[in-house]
Structure 1
Amino acid sequence: MRYGHDPLDEPLPDMGPEWEWPRLDPNHEDAAKASSPGSLNPIGLAEFLAREFPPREMVLGPWLPVGGLAMLYAPRGCGKTHVALEVAYAAATGGSFLKWQAPQPRSVLIIDGEMPGATLQERLARIETSAQISRSGVKQLRILASDLHPDGLPDLSSTEDQSRYTAALGDAELIIVDNLSTLCRSGRENEAESWLAVQGWALARRRENRAVLFVHHSGKGGGQRGTSRKEDVLDSVIALRRPEDYSPAEGARFEVHFEKARGFSGPDAEPFEAALTATGWAVRDLDDALEDRVLALHAEGMKQREIAAEVGKSAATVNRILKRVGASA
């Protein structure tokens, strides 16, 4: 039984033997736009090798170049926001932090999606006081804080919301995104496809010669949380780890490890320990930190094998340290 008239039952009209579906003229402007968003122009090897590229300058040497993309990650409470703010201030003043130096002042934008406004203010004030640099000596350092926006900050992983961030960049040469978990809320962290929108945004900033530092959390396994695809386009990946003998009473004390180091190696890429003290940041090599710990345990009367188990090293390593400093067995 049929209910009503179905126009699909009617035969198609006779369009004549010469009729065909309309086609765009390949030379027409609309056709060019439809077929290609932009021309691609490969060049030969000789031309490429003869091309002069400007030397890659540093925002913060040796690991954050102009137009560079980097990630800093750590467990909760390990000190990653301390590091991110210090990096921002060093870059804005042409100063230094830990073992890193900014050759010249840069314009910096901090995008903070997690820190309470009062805490963020307190930390920046401490950095300013310890640096002993007047505010007039700080090149433009701007803060885009979630606490200053009634609805919070937009979703950086949303292509629609990204335009709002892009419009707020101004002349920023370094953008610090703190942190991915609070500012990227679409998709799932462990799905590679969920990262593509953020990666596209970051690559667009690189093409503008802006550096981006992403701040992120560690996962349960110790690596950065979510898909490893986040690291593909990055120049540097820095992991902060708590020392084996760390106590929460010590505050910000951590080991700095370069898990990806594009464009630098050797001593510049060696891990080290950093601690925030009453007089500022203290830095020492991990070998020195291990030696201090071994000597302290030895002074407490522990045997070499007990010390080795405590510090996670071989008994031979402990013995070698004690012999080097002349400690009796």
Structure 2
Amino acid sequence: MIKQDANEILMSEGSERLREMFDEMMMDCDADPDQSRDDETVHEGAERKAPRLQTICLRQFARLKLPPRKMILDPILPQKGLGMLFAGRGIGKTHTALGMAYAVSCGGEFLRWHAEKPRNVLYVDGEMPQQALQERLSALMDASEKQPEDGAFRLLCMDRQELGFSLNLANPKHQGFLDRHLEDVAFLVLDNLSTLMNGGPENDAESWVSMQEWLLQLRRRDITVLLVHHAARNGNARGTSKREDVLDTVIKLKHPDDYDPSEGARFEVHLEKARGIFGEKALGFEARLVQTEGGASAWVCRDLGEEDEEELDQMLTLSQEGKSVREIAEMMGKSKSVVGRRLKEARKLNKE
């Protein structure tokens, strides 16, 4: 169709003909959806076309050969997963988030979680001075048996950006700024929501909508996301509970009841939401940062409520006598996983 000025058509042929020509043009666009045009509009000023939603029959869906969902950090974060880690001030949020990110970047272990293979990580920090961040990451590297490949662990620190710029991930434009750095990223850590999202009051569910839409788009791109957040005075995650609706995993850190500040980093780990995690893997535990006999730092974990020294000494004695993990478990009435885990923690401290 030869394009003519709408006013000329209206004057020469009338409004009815103008309406017919417009309808024909829209039908042509529907018939050829692959013609060169903007993804969102047919032409400037046209209304956005309704999406073509896809449905599938139950029987057909049940027969689909879908690939198994792999784990980014087993057992807590699946591929294409969305998770949140929250805690009060000074408990260990950033320690934990950095440890998780580092393990993913080099295919290593952190606390009771492990990454089966290395994946690219982008860690976005909105709060810490870069000197403090460097100190923590250097300690992680010194204590780890594995190192990430060059470029596998990348940092976007607000302390390194232009003076006056603040990243606001409630703003779709700023989401686009970050999207440019996610091409090869499998694991994105956002530390933390209070500093990286300024779209409205934290308890306002509506202010979360734009962020949630973006997170779901990242999931479709096979990107796993960990949100780091503060706890409120009541111990729950600060702000609207609507955030947790789309999350696979919600991890809460808290100090034990008998915690003393002189102990440094010591906290309990609880899974507040654990989609697809069952049995012992879903149980809480205590983590503590200690100095080994060699002077390095190491995280040791124990089950909540378990008696430490006497029981551990018995396990170590039996192990030194040549008993297997299975034999020790049967003799002490424990599961093999508990015995194996505690012996492993003892080796970290060079107690064996």
Fold match, TM over 0.5?
yes
- Residues 250 and 262 of structure 1: CA distance in aligned 2, closer, same or farther (over 3 Å): same
The answer to whether the 8 A contact 1:258-1:271 is kept is yes
* Alignment match, 1:24: 23
Structure 1 CA distance for aligned equivalents of residues 252 and 218 of structure 2: 23
Structure 1 stretches of 4+ with a deviation exceeding 6 A read 14-18
Task: Show the counterpart of 2:162.
Answer: 150
**Deviation string for 1:91-117 (max 9, x for gaps)?**
011011111110100000000000110
Number of paired residues? 278
The one-letter code matched in structure 1 to 2:59 is A
TM-score w.r.t. the length of structure 2 is 0.74
Paired position in structure 2 for 1:257: 270
Change (3 A) 1:18 1:98: closer
Amino acid in the other structure paired with 2:216: L
Aligned to 2:121: 108
In structure 1, the residue matched to 2:153 is 141
Gaps of 5+ in 1: 1-13, 293-329
- How high is the sequence identity, in percent, across the aligned residues? 44
Counterparts in 2 of 1:1-329, with a 5 A limit?
19=16, 22=19, 24-25=23-24, 26-29=26-29, 33=42, 34=47, 36-134=49-147, 136=149, 140-151=152-163, 152-279=165-292, 280-288=298-306
CA 1:16–1:121: 2 relative to 1, 3 Å: closer
State the Cα RMSD in Å.
2.4
Does the CA contact (< 8 Å) of 1:105 and 1:139 recur in 2? no
The alpha carbon displacement at 1:132 in A equals: 3.3
C-alpha change, 1:18 and 1:238, in structure 2 (3 Å) is: closer
Contact 1:75 1:241 in 2 (8 A): yes
Decide whether aligned partners of structure 1 residues 18 and 245 sit closer, same or farther in structure 2, where only a CA change above 3 A counts: closer
SS at match of 2:101: helix
Judged with a 3 Å threshold, the aligned counterparts in structure 2 of structure 1 residues 199 and 99 are, in CA distance, closer, same or farther, namely: same
Q: Distance in 2 between matches of 1:18 and 1:205?
A: 46
Aligned to 2:313: none
2:14 & 2:137 partners in 1: Cα distance? 78
1:65·1:211 contact (CA, 8 Å) conserved in 2? yes
Following TM superposition, by how much is the alpha carbon of 1:41 offset from its aligned partner in structure 2, in angstroms?
1.8
Letter in 1 for 2:249: S
Q: Give distance in 1, aligned partners of 2:100 and 2:49.
A: 41
Distance 1:18 1:173, change over 3 A: closer
TM-score (norm 1): 0.79
Greater mean deviation of Cα atoms: 254-263 or 23-32: 23-32
Cα distance change of structure 1 residues 127 and 44 upon mapping to structure 2, 3 Å threshold: same
Tell me by how many angstroms 1:28 deviates.
Answer: 3.3
Distance 2:140 2:91 in 1: 18
Write the letter of the residue equivalent to 1:110: Y
**Amino acid across the alignment from 1:27:** M
Q: In structure 2, how many angstroms separate the alpha carbons of the residues matched to 1:132 and 1:125?
A: 13
Structure 2 residues not aligned, in runs of 5+: 1-10, 34-41, 293-297, 310-352
Q: Structure 1, residues 17-38: CA drift from partner, whole Å, max 9, x if none?
A: 9849835345132898546343
Query: Which residue identity is paired with 2:237?
Result: Q
Q: Secondary structure of the equivalent of 2:305?
A: helix
Deviations 1:91-149 (A, max 9, x none): 0110111111101000000000001100000000000000033454x661000001110
* Distance in 2 between residues matched to 1:132 and 1:182, nearest whole Å: 33
Distance (whole Å) between structure 2 residues aligned to residue 117 and residue 104 of structure 1: 28
